Structure 1
Amino acid sequence: MRSRCPLRPCRAVAAAVVSLACLFGGVPSAVATSGPATGPSPVALPDALAVFRPAPAHERTPERYLPSPSPDPWYSSPPPLAPATAPGTILDSRPVTIPPHNVRNFGRGWQLLVQSTDSHDRSQQIVSTVIEPATPWTGPGPRPLVSFNATIDSLGLTCMPSHVLPREFNLELPPFLQILADRGYGLVVTDFQGPKAAYAAGRANGRAVLDGIRAARAFVAPGDTGPLFADSRVVQVGYSGGGIATGWAAQLQPVYAPELTGVLVGSSVGGVPADYAELFDTMDGNVASGLYRAAVLGIAREYPELYALLNDTGDVAAHGLRDTCAAANTAAGLIPVPLAMLTTTDPRTDPTVLKVLARNRLGTADPVHGADPREVPTSPIQVWHGDALAPIGPGPGSEQGPGDLFVPERTARRLADEWCAAGADVEYTPVPGEHILAAYTAVGPALDWVDARARGVPFTAGCR
């Protein structure tokens, strides 16, 4: 059997960093020679560095930059798409077991193949993992269902929750899943980036979350007499990339899934990069550039007109990073390459880039870029964020700390204000720490908020 790295991210991190180092340091001359030979014929070597050479123009199709096929046949060999099939329809199901290091108190689990739609109303299929924990529900009413939207932040299909949770120790999850299972909630964890692993493509991500919820509510486990969660309150929670999916699901729900009005009773949105254009100043060309670059490449999978802006270096980067997971994307920031080095134009001012980023901006609807003014959350929202003004001790004057340096708290506060002005009911919760630490300091306040909504506690702290 082929040996494996004990923790899968370590090899991916090394590969991403080495790839970028080679790419921006130049290809060694031994494999880049041209012209007539002047001495003995060189020994033929395997062209191991071919991946660092740009493709000719006719090969630069969108398919070149998509992820490699998944070992999961549900991704690599899906059944024929049926455009008339309603979003949220369950196409297939299979049992799954998740080890306790990823979900403690795991009871029963299944994976569902679900019909969904992408950012442009085209049919696609997604995978959702549904979990009924062994912990009994002791609260009022039926067992609630929580849509946990993981921080996927990846470009490869083997990085998706449906692939990772049953197989590997997941280093990228704060203890949300463990606590949710311990409290007895039903869980649905959707591969919301879809079959193209379209990281940060907010509209497609949000639709996938809603279709995962639809499927989980309709699913009848083998041997059961009815759906597990048909009568359940539904709450969703997600951070960072998962916050993108959570925020967009809340915003799209009234239009895309109106039947969930009154069923989806709350959304806890953490660390969300609501406005990608504003992140040029805080994430581009610094140690956060790996994640920002991956996000832009993920969006391009839904908006392939962006690929036409890649220069030779950008072509190699988009192809070479097409399968990277979150850990590798984060580590790639060790080589802080700005996006302008990958494009033939200035992405900060290019009209194509700005149009796509505006289309994926959370908050006030922008009809100029195709937004629907009805896209306003109908259920309570908690927006939480690493904030320099977050209290870290009792009493006044305890506010200190950097806040989120990469996704500034002003963007989260503005998102809350815009949703409030549009008629949503929103509470802003500042938490201590920067972008990474805030994912852990917020576990208590975020999950307590989720618990209150799941138990039907009236929401009185919002702006409505």
Structure 2
Amino acid sequence: MSTIVDVLTRLGLPGRVPADVLADPYAALLPTPVTSDPFFVDPDASGPVDAPPGTVLRSREVTGRVPRPRTRLRQFAVASTDARGRPVTVTASLMEPRRPWRGPGPRPVVVHNVAIDSLGLAATPSYRLMHGVGQDFPTVVPLWLQRGYAVLIVDHEGPRMAYAEGTMAGHAVLDGWRGLLRIEEAYRESPTVMYGYSGGAIATVWAAQLQPTYAPELPSAGAIAGGTPTNVGLLRETMNGTLASGLYGAAVIGMAREHEDLAHEFGPLGLYLATRIKDLSVIPLALGGLARLPLEALATDPDVFDSPVARAVIEANTPGTGAPSAPFAFYHGALDRWIPEHGVRALADTWRAQGADVEVRRVVGDHFVGAVSALPFVLRWVATRFTEAVIR
């Protein structure tokens, strides 16, 4: 057990966990509801919405705290399904340049999957666009808008903020896309590409893999993802007990919100810490990595990663059982120490074996520098997909 865990234990933190948290750890891990804006109040709290996935449940046109005179901002909520196929509601935002599209064909759409990497509902991109400043790394949305593209941003962690849970993210993105075509029929003929980096790449990978079976009617022109975490088990080698352990632990909390059995793997100290960070956004969660906490020390079982529950969750969040039907491109920093590149290449090979068109590009830098150094490649790749779609 690490020194920091010994210190926290001697301070008596495990004994401070309330009885109701020990009795129902799953409920204790769920995010605190947002009450400051009725648009984001989760209607599922009073019973799931009985509507086909992609049904628009409500919408509004807003300005937001930060004026965007050249951009129209609309927000909407759609019916979707979670990782276990249960009905949930997902929110999304559509950003459109006010100037007319002067390129060939209809205005293209980028489904931009933000690296949310957060546990609190106030950190969703749509809430931030309305009540604060949008948070995205790298900052690509202005580049899409400058080129005249419409940008769809889906709050892909879902109503439980299930950070890193792939199926929830994939369903949310695809149902948000379906909702877009219902609130703006002009985009039914638009070439559409999905994009995401790091945490946003998880959503992009899963949406691309699930699209042929979950939403085959959606006209995908391709998808591109960078710095992609493809396997939670692989990340144990690079993130657990390191400076990245704050985000790794947050991802485990996020997945426990969709896989209830995983919540029961948290020991008293793990529950104490988890219930105190369950509403934080990415920056404080990342700073939590300074403690370098190994997750095994926070679980009921020191071999928790080999438990049947953990293995089942890891398997459920490892893509490869299906493959995209549209072209897909991965890019990855050559010096990325946190996200193993061999996981990306293994997934690309798995998809190719199923007939997918997959490209893998190594770019300059680590996880952070590579996100920026790859932008010329990303912009060219997306523009090419749009041009090819119009020509066809």
- Residue of structure 2 equivalent to 1:74: 39
- Residue of structure 2 equivalent to 1:335: 291
Question: Alpha carbon RMSD of aligned pairs, Å?
Answer: 2.3
- Residue of structure 2 equivalent to 1:434: 366
Aligned: 1:317 with 2:273: yes
Is the 1:149–1:189 Cα contact (8 Å) retained in structure 2?
yes
Structure 1 residues 333-376: Cα deviation after superposition (integer angstroms, max 9, x where no partner): 1110011011011123112101111111022x1xxxxxxxxx22
- Residue of structure 2 equivalent to 1:55: 18
Higher helix residue share: 2
Which stretch of the first structure deviates more once superposed, 449-458 or 411-420? 449-458
Aligned: 1:203 with 2:131: no
Q: Flag as ranges the 4+ runs of structure 1 deviating above 6 A.
A: 21-24
Aligned: 1:241 with 2:204: no
Is the 1:218–1:229 Cα contact (8 Å) retained in structure 2?
no
- Residue of structure 1 equivalent to 2:62: 96
Larger-gyration structure (1/2): 1
TM-score by length of 1: 0.78
Aligned: 1:166 with 2:130: yes
- Residue of structure 2 equivalent to 1:360: 317
Structure 2: 5+ residue stretches without partners: none
SS at 2:186 equivalent: coil
Shift of residue 89, structure 1, vs aligned partner: 0.5
Distance 2:380 2:247 in 1: 29
SS at 2:84 equivalent: coil
Distance 1:52 1:444 in 2: 53
Shift of residue 420, structure 1, vs aligned partner: 0.9
Q: Across the two proteins, how many residue pairs are aligned to each other?
A: 385
Structure 1: 5+ residue stretches without partners: 1-20, 33-49, 221-226, 366-374, 388-402, 460-464
Shift of residue 76, structure 1, vs aligned partner: 2.8
Distance 1:185 1:351 in 2: 45
Q: Relative to 1, partners in 2 of residues 1:68 and 1:426: Cα closer, same or farther, differing over 3 Å?
A: same
Q: Relative to 1, partners in 2 of residues 1:229 and 1:284: Cα closer, same or farther, differing over 3 Å?
A: same
- Residue of structure 1 equivalent to 2:102: 138
Distance 1:244 1:319 in 2: 25
Is the 1:160–1:191 Cα contact (8 Å) retained in structure 2?
yes
Structure 1 residues 243-262: Cα deviation after superposition (integer angstroms, max 9, x where no partner): 000000000001110111xx
Q: Which amino acid aligns with 2:345?
A: R
Is the 2:60–2:75 Cα contact (8 Å) retained in structure 1?
yes
Q: Relative to 1, partners in 2 of residues 1:136 and 1:55: Cα closer, same or farther, differing over 3 Å?
A: same
Distance 2:25 2:121 in 1: 19
- Residue of structure 2 equivalent to 1:258: 216
Q: Relative to 1, partners in 2 of residues 1:290 and 1:112: Cα closer, same or farther, differing over 3 Å?
A: same
Structure 1 residues 276-331: Cα deviation after superposition (integer angstroms, max 9, x where no partner): 11111111000011111111110010001011111111111221110011111111
Q: Which amino acid aligns with 1:349?
A: D
SS at 1:295 equivalent: helix
Is the 1:203–1:248 Cα contact (8 Å) retained in structure 2?
yes
Distance 1:52 1:352 in 2: 25
Distance 1:186 1:273 in 2: 27
Q: Which amino acid aligns with 1:76?
A: V
Distance 1:385 1:105 in 2: 35
Is the 1:135–1:183 Cα contact (8 Å) retained in structure 2?
no
